[in-house]
Amino acid sequence: MKTQMNPFTIRKAIYSDNMGLCKIASSTFYETYVHLNPENSALLQAYVDETFNEQKLAVELQKTDVTFYLLEAENELIGYAKTKSEAMDPRLEIEKLYFINRHQGQGLGKKLFLHIKNQAVLNGKKSIWLSVYDQNKSAIEFYVKLGFKKISEKDFIFNWNGYQYKDRDWILELIL
């Protein structure tokens, strides 16, 4: 069931957001990918627990080239994005943009993206790029509607604790 929520706020994450960020990063990653390989759901959960733990995200929150944006509605964290940008690089990378499933399809992803885009323009970036799993048709459709174009493809190798999985990612770019 989709839930309509208004109003919402978008803000940069700070160090004290670490616990909430861990929770939403873990749950949204698992929600997004478990259906692609349900027979390995326990392995996926173990990967999520190790990858999105408080210690690792605390390090990420302190990096100067990384920014987390949080989208909140009615005092609930319902979506987030992670961007990366080196000072001399004219591009901004969106590494992550996830929402809790029940809040997808409400236009909030577009609002979060437009906030990121505005920040990129204010910081003098010339383009925004990202990679997206080629089987994630809804995400591809979302980015294409925002004006992104496919510029290349790359293999994505998921290699964790002896389990290896290879998929294909599309590299998409939006010229600002």
| CATH number of the structural domain spanning residue 138 | 3.40.630.30
Cα–Cα distance, 53 to 23 (Å, whole number):
9
User: pLDDT of 53-70, one tens digit each?
Assistant: 999 999 999 999 999 999
Cα–Cα distance, 147 to 6 (Å, whole number):
26
Higher pLDDT, 85 or 107: 85
Q: Would you say residue 3 lies in a domain?
A: no
Tell me the pLDDT of the chain averaged across its residues. Answer: 90
DSSP state of 5: -
Which region among 34-43, 107-116, 148-157 has the lowest average model confidence (pLDDT)? Answer: 34-43
The predicted pLDDT at position 165 comes to 73
Q: Is the pLDDT of residue 135 over 90?
A: no
The count of structural domains within the chain is: 1
Q: CB-based contacts of 63: which residues, under 8 Å, 6+ apart? A: none
Q: Would you say residue 1 lies in a domain?
A: no
Helical (H) or strand (E) element with 43: helix 41-51
Rounded mean pLDDT, 132-151? 94
Q: Would you say residue 89 lies in a domain?
A: yes
